[in-house]
Amino acid sequence: MYIKRLKDLREDNDLSQESISKILKITRPQYSLYETGKRDIPVDLLSVLAKYYNTSIDYIVGDTDVYERYPEGK
């Protein structure tokens, strides 16, 4: 499920794989492997993407359909 969400989030924000790879500080081919499901994306990169898209890791991996990010702890 996260494969589709990764691509959908990127496209919904009018971003290229190149721009996302720069945000993640990885190469574009490496990001492409994550988006096509040929490699699993590490949790630390999921965290960066969740913060960038202002959503949760749970949303990206398909554990919830709620897009809103969890409130920050106090």
Distance of CA 51 to the CA centre of its chain: 9
Give the type of residue at 60: I
Contact 61, 41 (CB under 8 A): no
CATH of 2-61 among 1.10.260.40, 3.40.640.10, 1.10.760.10, 3.10.620.30 = 1.10.260.40
Q: Break the chain into its structural domains and give their ranges.
A: 2-61
What pLDDT sits at residue 45?
97
Report helix, strand or coil for 34. helix
pLDDT tens string for the chain (74 positions)?
678 999 999 999 999 999 999 999 999 999 999 999 999 999 999 999 999 999 999 999 999 998 887 777 64
Question: Of how many residues is the chain composed?
Answer: 74
Cβ-contact 41, 2 below 8 angstroms: yes
